[in-house]
Structure 1
Amino acid sequence: MELRDVDLNLLLLFHHLMAERRVTPVAERLGITQPAVSNALARLRRQFDDELFLRTPAGMVPTPLAEQLAGPVGEALALIHRGLNPPTSFDPARVRCAMTLAMTDIGEIVFLPALVERIGREAPGVSLSTVRSSAVHLQDDMAAGRVDLAIGLLPQLKAGYFQRQLFRQPYVCLFRRGHPLDRPGLTLADFRAAEHLVVLSAGTGHGKVDERLKRAGVERTVRLRVPHFVGVGHILQGTDLVATVPERLAQRLAGPFGLTWRVHPVELPEAPIKVFWHAKAHRDAANLWLRGRVFELFADPLVAPA
């Protein structure tokens, strides 16, 4: 297909349909009628010889071809948008706005205290919100500007996103002080004999830890499974359970909950924690400022940006 054969307005409509998955909000965003959206979609379908979006009770579901086109189309539109709208100055002391970050509950524990303090000092008119980085529509929300940054272990964010690595962190064994394992040299036999708390962190890269333990043939007695990390400190504080967690989370929980941690007896891959932002926001002044604060606060100087 030649570029001269493509109507840029149709690509813009396609981009918004990928983000919204419904005709009505796209019509409102573009300032046209719903029948006009339907007619434009019909033209797109003929041009690509594909349905592109299938109507379901849950909204418009993209076909595999639409998923394939989403990244390149989003990047191209973002490039045009940046060319037509050069970045303006951003005065953090004067601006009033709300910004949204996607992260897990681990991220909220590790990042938010220092980040909120820093932003409150530099930009008192800026408020923060968080959403879960495991959300089904995270990519669409970032493309539409509803989420400014995503932080964590997020292998699903690829085409159309910039990224920078903050640090790599190992996994450790976390338990209460005074636990029978609270002694030097935690062995694999100790780990197997303990009772475990397992966090089922669906939608994040942390699930690979359990897969690695299974592949290594390491059997555990799992006494409790929970869907998030936020309760780990409270649970370990009052039990003899052992949890496998990222080291920085262990550091944050140890003091408040009377916990300690040891080097993990199983060789597990380190987790690369990164910041992601959509190509559309790459030169946005507010986004530049926010991710700059994140880099300054949390980037490991020994880790080259990746």
Structure 2
Amino acid sequence: MDLRDVDLNLLLVFAELMQEGSVSKAADSLGMSQPGMSNALNRLRALLGDELLTRTGRGMQPTPYAERLSGPVSEALRLLHDAINFEMTFEPESSTRNFTIAMTDIGEIDFLSNLMRMLGTVAPRVSISTVRKDAANLKDELEAGAVDLAVGWLPDLNAGIFQRRLASSQYVCTFRKGHPLDKGPISLDEFSRADHVVVIAANTGHMMAEQELERLGIRRNVRLRIPHFSAVGHILGETDLVATLPGRLVNRSMLPFELAWSPLPIGLDPIPLNVFWSAKYHRDPANQWLRKMMFDSFDARVPRLPPALAVPAAFPG
């Protein structure tokens, strides 16, 4: 007999009949009418080629075939019930899982120290790997579970991807302390004539700021172009170059590299930073826990950006 020929609801009927030993009691237990239960029993008899239950002076009694079938059917139904109602859990205190987060080096500078401090307290054996992924394959890797979360401004991630705002960052003009521009607000002419280092970080929110400067027709004397943010603090601290950078990065860089900043002489909208995850893992306990850690560790940090440029550390999602 092929299982495709079996109405699985009939197995529920069979298990209940075997337990109750009565058509009327089995019907009440399953919320069926007695004629409906009798009809189901007749369908079972026709399907299995056995009477299954026979009427005797002691009530309905199972046939030898029904007795042999009863145990395996009940166990199969129990396993199916447990599988359907299984609730996944994640225990961070004992987990040894490695999570993968896609982010840029600016994200690593801004987020990871706080996240790792928190994980050291609540999940001491959990580890984190960061990767660089372009938008072309990031969606596929999120859906496959190869990447658990992505952080940044990624407008091309849409269908099948959840997102929540983590923060927003205002751009400023940054330079070393004692720089000729370290004197308060600077003019557009001073900004344009300065020697600039520009970070060319493709497929990131930072390129929105660069594109907006170009759209506004802002001319800069660009002396250096680099692909990463990690070297900017070193370069600015030891030269007279200036850079247009997000305030959150400046927060992290002012003290170690002795940097100063000035408001940009033109208005740039703050760049949003979002956390992205696949709809496939939206209810996955481990992914839910990691998202909570991202937001909790971020909220715990008090921005050091001066009030004139400060933006909220997190937005309700």
TM-score by length of 2: 0.67
The alpha carbon displacement at 1:168 in A equals 1.4
290-299 or 100-109: bigger deviation: 290-299
Checking the alignment, whether the CA contact within 8 Å between 1:194 and 1:241 is kept in structure 2 is: yes
| Percentage identity across paired residues of the two chains | 50
> Aligned AA for 2:186?
L
Other structure's SS at 1:248 match: helix
- Asked if the contact 1:149–1:275 (Cα under 8 Å) also holds between the matched residues in 2, the reply is yes
Taking a change above 3 Å as real, the CA distance of residues 156 and 87 of structure 1, as seen in their structure-2 partners, is farther
Amino acid at match of 2:117: E
1:105 aligns with 2:105: yes
For residues 261 and 133 of structure 1, the distance between their equivalents in structure 2, rounded to whole angstroms, comes to 31
Q: Name the CA shift for 1:87/1:198 in 2 (closer, same or farther; >3 Å).
A: farther
The match for 2:24 is: none
C-alpha contact (below 8 Å) 2:165/2:314 kept by paired residues: no
Residue in structure 2 matched with residue 158 of structure 1 by the alignment: 158
- Give 1:302 deviation, angstroms: 6.4
Q: Matches of 1:197 and 1:286 in 2, distance apart?
A: 40
Aligned partner of 2:134 in structure 1 is 134
Task: Using the TM superposition, give the Cα deviation of residue 214 of structure 1 relative to its aligned residue in structure 2, in angstroms.
Answer: 1.5
Is the Cα contact below 8 Å between 2:106 and 2:229 reproduced in 1?
yes
- What per-residue deviation string (whole Å, max 9, x for no partner) do you get for residues 279-300 of structure 1? 0110111111111011112254
Equivalent position SS for 1:260? strand
Q: Corresponding residue for 1:225?
A: 225
Structure 2 counterpart of 1:118: 118
Matches of 1:203 and 1:192, distance apart in 2: 25
Residue 57 (structure 1) aligns with: none
- Equivalent position of 2:183 in the other structure: 183
Distance 1:301 1:206, change over 3 A: closer
Question: Structure 1 CA distance, aligned partners of 2:87 and 2:119?
Answer: 21
**Letter matched to residue 181 of structure 1:** L
**Aligned partner of residue 99 in structure 1, secondary structure:** strand
Once the two structures are TM-superposed, the CA of residue 147 in structure 1 deviates from its matched residue by: 0.4
User: Between Structure 1 and Structure 2, how many residues are aligned?
Assistant: 223
User: Gaps (5+ residues) in structure 1?
Assistant: 1-82
Q: Is the 8 A contact 1:103 1:131 kept in 2?
A: yes
Inter-partner Cα distance in structure 1 for 2:242 and 2:313: 31
**1:269-288 correspondence runs (5 A):** 269-288=269-288
Contact map agreement 1:87 1:285 (CA 8 A) in 2: no
1:6 match: none
Equivalent runs, 1:183-222 vs 2, <5 Å: 183-222=183-222
AA aligned to 2:149 is L
RMSD across aligned positions (CA): 1.7
Q: Find the residue that maps to 1:185 and give its secondary structure.
A: coil
> Secondary structure of the residue that 2:293 maps to in structure 1?
helix
Q: What does 1:36-47 align with in structure 2 at a 5 Å threshold? A: none
Asked if the contact 2:135–2:157 (Cα under 8 Å) also holds between the matched residues in 1, the reply is no
CA distance in 1, matches of 2:107, 2:128: 14
Distance across 2 between alignment mates of 1:87 and 1:182: 58
| 2:315 paired residue among 277, 284, 303 | 303
In 1: Cα distance, 2:134 partner to 2:117 partner: 25
1:209 Cα deviation from its structure 2 partner: 1.4
Q: Deviations over 1:40-77 (max 9, x none)?
A: xxxxxxxxxxxxxxxxxxxxxxxxxxxxxxxxxxxxxx
**Larger Cα Rg: Structure 1 or Structure 2?**
2
Q: Which amino acid aligns with 1:129?
A: S
Q: Contact 1:237/1:257 (CA < 8 Å) preserved in 2?
A: yes
Structure 1's 224 and 119: CA in aligned 2 closer, same or farther, altered over 3 A?
same
Q: Is 1:87–1:283's contact at 8 Å kept on the other side of the alignment? A: no
SS at match of 1:181: coil
Deviations 1:88-114 (A, max 9, x none): 222111111110000001000000111
CA positional deviation for 1:133: 4.0
Once the two structures are TM-superposed, the CA of residue 156 in structure 1 deviates from its matched residue by 1.6
How far, CA to CA, are the matches of 2:217 and 2:294 in structure 1? 38
Cα distance change, pair 157–87 in 1 and its aligned pair in 2 (3 A): farther
* Partner in structure 1 of residue 143 of structure 2: 143
- Partners of 2:85 and 2:280 lie apart in 1 by 11
Instruction: Quote the offset at 1:205 in angstroms.
Output: 2.2
8 Å contact kept, 1:107–1:151: yes
CA distance 1:301–1:195, shift in 2 (3 Å):
closer
Task: Name the counterpart of 1:79.
Answer: none
Uncovered stretches (5+) of structure 2, i.e. residues with no partner: 1-82, 300-311
What SS is found at the alignment partner of 1:137?
Answer: helix
Question: How far apart, in 2, do the equivalents of 1:85 and 1:168 lie?
Answer: 40
Give the 4+ runs in structure 1 shifted more than 4 A: 83-87, 299-302
> Is the deviation greater in 206-215 or in 237-246?
206-215
